[in-house]
Amino acid sequence: MAALTLTLTLTRLSSSSFNRISQRLSSRVQTNSHRLHQMATSSSPEVKQSEKIVAPYGSWKSPISADVVSGASKRLGGTAVDSLGRLIWLESRPSESGRAVLVREPERPEDEPVDITPKDYAVRTVAQEYGGGAFSVSGDTIVFCNYKDQRLYKQSLSSKDSAPTPLTPDYGGPVISYADGVFDARFNRFVTVREDRRESSINSITTIVTVGLDGKEIQEPEVLVGGTDFYAFPRFDPKGERLAWIEWCHPNMPWDRSQLWVGYISEKGEVYKRICVAGSDPSIKESPIEPKWSSKGELFFITDRKGGYWNLYKWVESSNEVVSVYSLDAEFSKPLWVFGMNSYEFIESHESKNIIACSYRQKGRSYLGILDDAQGSLSLLNTPFTDIDNITLGINCLYIEGASEVQPLAVAKVTLDDHRTKAVDSKIIWSSSPDCLKYQSYFSLPELIEFPTEVPGQTAFAYFYPPTNPNYQAPQGEKPPLLLKSHGGPTAESHGILNLSIQYWTSRGWAFVDVNYGGSTGYGREYRERLLNKWGIVDVNDCCSCARYLVDSGKVDGERLCITGGSAGGYTTLAALAFRDTFKAGSSLYGVADLNMLRAETHKFESHYIDNLVGSEKDYHDRSPINFADKFSCPIILFQGLEDKVVAPDQARKIYQALKEKGLPVAHVEYEGEQHGFRKAENIKFTLEQQMVFFARLVGNFKVADEINPIKIDNFD
């Protein structure tokens, strides 16, 4: 089938006009998405309504098993292009205990991709705990951070069996990490963010350092920029004469307030002069991010100084002035949780203007655009995705990381026309789950819902997934149980994309809703800052309001409402169960039970994060579920990794013990070797199955179709 290509050219339109056109395009693309879904599912044998098996919600059989989900949980850790224009990507594999491997696109489409990373290595940095930006490519050279020892290694792509060679010293353990590095051709060195935990793992020292690339002798990296709490995005201009970077200080997170700096590089390779480009004016609340130099040496970046949305700007060096490139009530970037984000790319142009490929997010959907800086025009391109992450420039093409309602996380190669303004073709290069489309007739498509919050006139957003299985129907009059998910962060966002772990529930007869409570990203600074001083209140209220909205709409059973979440979402889960009576059971994955313990024991990056989210000492006590075990009144299951540096394992142990003593049904699962988030296939599978059978036994009123051996539930078995 020929690819659908929709292109709109918008020249100096008002935001309202642009929004109307965006909405029309969104509607057309979503319609096409549904058509493609219907076409794909029509190839499967249809079961007539009268022939469907009548069985209670939750008891339906589904081929989307926990094994399928855990096997499809490959993650993407970034993309780059080598000297031949072939794509290189970093994928983590649950089947290899979460090992992350660099893979190269094959020379011929019919061939298999080639692993670059030798078996004794894994590419992953633990800088700021969440990592990202673990590798960089320049020509035929890769520099990467090795997971086990956290040292930097150099590897040649031109030599087939080239073994990685270390670039940084061995400190006897993984006490120093590197991330977000770039090559400096002028001095044949690698410039990178370094997190030094030798003196303290809780109060590490972050700097921008230089690492020699000649490989003759391993030397201690030299500090190029230092003195503040955090750094990110070191980026050189084309001549290597200026370095841009982002920095921020406690108690701010990078999305609260940050600064963009430019340093001038001397003949000796040192920074001899600095200019703060954005973020120094206390009267302007902004968080600049993603600095990047054009081929002509102009500095572009993204910031939210006007209107509270992350938009594109550039720096006029001669007057030290910041000017807007394009304004829209949409987010052209996202919070800096991980290093190495890349939301826009400069496209080579034969004319004296900047052509920029960029993505933005508006009302729960992503768009890909080609921006003409000179004309101030933005052309929208059609892609296979409704959700876009990073962009990498290839030869006459763009590599786009993204997903859609029927497409799992993938990388698409979008080929551009000669003018670089239209997409003439697109194809999937990599997929986190290439085999999942055979289950397409079981997919539940998300519905973006907007529901009223407890604040009069204010609304919040969520993605609702109805129960979907072509072979089953529920008894007449029955309404499905609901599993509500509260996302982590809490400065993060749920996305309405294909997630097999959600489909695991919906294909068995559960309704599922993924909530973007107040404080979520993707809706501008004002929406994001609803949570300031109100974490544990706004998020909890919005989750409860969403569940009640679905009950009142007749879509779910009000007596079978369950809630789940991981990390900060686990905190919202526990807080909702302690301080509200909306839900009948809950599941917390590495969730926060004690806010004071989190503040005392978490890593440096987040050590002051919750100060802005919680408030006073009394609030820390009053919003910690562990202090109110007497208020819990329903069953809970807890899952925890024993190597978690963000939420200590004692948090789950304390809440488990308190609920056990209270006499509530409770179960507790600990995983050796797991950190903050589960990466091993067997643990992903076990967690999913045990949640399912836990809810079924305690609130579901049905028997699951799968053969699952349930763990012991205290105060129940």
| pLDDT digit string, tens, across residues 664-700 | 999 999 999 888 888 788 999 999 999 999 999 999 8
pLDDT-derived band of residue 23, with 50, 70 and 90 as boundaries?
very low
Angle between helix axes 568-579 and 538-552 (nearest 10 degrees) is: 70
22-36, 590-604, 632-646: lowest mean pLDDT where?
22-36
Q: What is the mean pLDDT of residues 111-128?
A: 93
Is 677 contained in some domain? yes
Q: Looking at the structure, tell me whether residues 418 and 463 fall in a common domain.
A: no
Q: Looking at the structure, tell me whether residues 424 and 446 fall in a common domain.
A: no
Helix (H), strand (E) counts: the chain: 11, 39
Q: Looking at the structure, tell me whether residues 428 and 448 fall in a common domain.
A: no
In the listed set 400, 417, 432, which residue is the last one of a domain according to the structure? 432
Given a contact cutoff of 8 angstroms between Cβ atoms, the answer to whether 175 and 197 are in contact is yes
Owning domain of residue 355: 342-432
Q: Count the Cβ atoms, other than its own, within 10 Å of residue 346.
A: 18
Q: Is the pLDDT of residue 16 over 90?
A: no
Residue at 552: amino acid letter? D
Is 42 contained in some domain? no
**Helix or strand holding residue 27 (H, E):** helix 15-42
Distance of CA 688 to CAs 63, 567, 597, 683, Å? 15, 16, 27, 9
Q: What is the pLDDT of residues 40-64, one digit of tens each?
A: 444 344 566 668 999 999 999 999 9
Q: Looking at the structure, tell me whether residues 537 and 665 fall in a common domain.
A: yes
pLDDT-derived band of residue 605, with 50, 70 and 90 as boundaries?
very high
28: its two tokens: 């057309």
Is 475 contained in some domain? yes
Phi, psi at 16, each rounded to 5°: -65, -40
Q: Looking at the structure, tell me whether residues 484 and 592 fall in a common domain.
A: yes
Q: Looking at the structure, tell me whether residues 617 and 653 fall in a common domain.
A: yes
Q: Looking at the structure, tell me whether residues 442 and 573 fall in a common domain.
A: yes
Q: Is the pLDDT of residue 216 over 90?
A: no
Mean pLDDT of the chain: 90
CA angle 402, 404, 409 (to 5 degrees): 45
In the listed set 370, 403, 432, which residue is the last one of a domain according to the structure? 432
In the chain, how many domains are there? 2
- Give, as one character, the DSSP assignment of residue 339: B
Q: What b/e sequence results for 626-654 when a residue is b if at least 16 CB atoms lie within 10 Å of its CB, and e otherwise?
A: bbbbeebebbbbbbbbeebebbbeebbeb
Q: Looking at the structure, tell me whether residues 396 and 526 fall in a common domain.
A: no
Full DSSP string of 60-104: ---S--HHHHHHT--EEEEEEE-TTS-EEEEEEEGGGTTEEEEEE
Q: Looking at the structure, tell me whether residues 597 and 452 fall in a common domain.
A: yes
